[in-house]
Amino acid sequence: TPFGPSGGTAKLIVDNVRAAVRRCDWFEPELNPKVREFCAHYGTVMLPTRPAMPRHKGKVEAGIKYGQNNALKGHEFKSLAAQNAHLIEWERTVADTRLHGTIRRQVAQQFRDVERPRLQPLPASLFPMFSEARRSVHRDGHIKLQKAFYSVPPEFMGQQVWVRWESKLVRLFDERMKPIALHARVD
């Protein structure tokens, strides 16, 4: 179940892929800022596995192995649509009807009775689309972004800052993702 015993926040366990985890650490992994924002927007928490410890996500790996060995083994599909149709039917007739080895309940029944009532509604808005990158602050107190220059507070001169841009705004952050400047985007 993705929730703690009393409901709580959904937890997502992932490998230490570079796209999600900036710095691997046993106790305090550092997530990519965009991934962290995504998780905050959808009310979830991403928990990277410990470095070089695949056994820490054994339940995830077991589910993948179950699907590969049970649903897909020995099957060939003419298209992705055909494979998806097969998997939907397999899930409905096989995976959801089986008794789960840990909880000793039918999977679909567990979801219906325990997990579904704990699900929270999705946010009213989609996750905002933005691009993000690090930039060096030049000696003149500006960063360059796509042939335009944006000012940065003087205390950041010579340092690296995070720049997040979307269709109309450019936001600047320090290394800890604390906002330091906001500009209208110049095209």
In this structure, the strands spanning 131-136 and 142-145 are unpaired
- Given a cut of 90, is residue 182 above it in pLDDT? yes
For 112, half-sphere exposure in the C-beta direction (CA atoms, 13 angstrom radius) is: 7
* Per-residue confidence band for 43, with pLDDT thresholds at 50, 70 and 90: confident
90-126 pLDDT per residue, tens:
999 999 999 888 889 999 999 999 989 988 888 998 8
CB atoms within 10 A of CB 87: 16
Cβ(163)–Cβ(171) under 8 Å?
yes
Residue 13: pLDDT above 80?
no
Answer whether 0.75 is exceeded by the pTM: no
17-41 pLDDT per residue, tens: 777 788 877 777 888 888 888 888 8
Whether the CB-CB separation of 6 and 30 falls below 8 Å is answered with: no
d(CA 87, CA 70): 10
CA distance 119 to 121: 7
Lowest-confidence region among 42-51, 62-71, 100-109, 175-184: 42-51
Q: How confident is the model at residue 1 (pLDDT cuts 50, 70, 90)?
A: very low
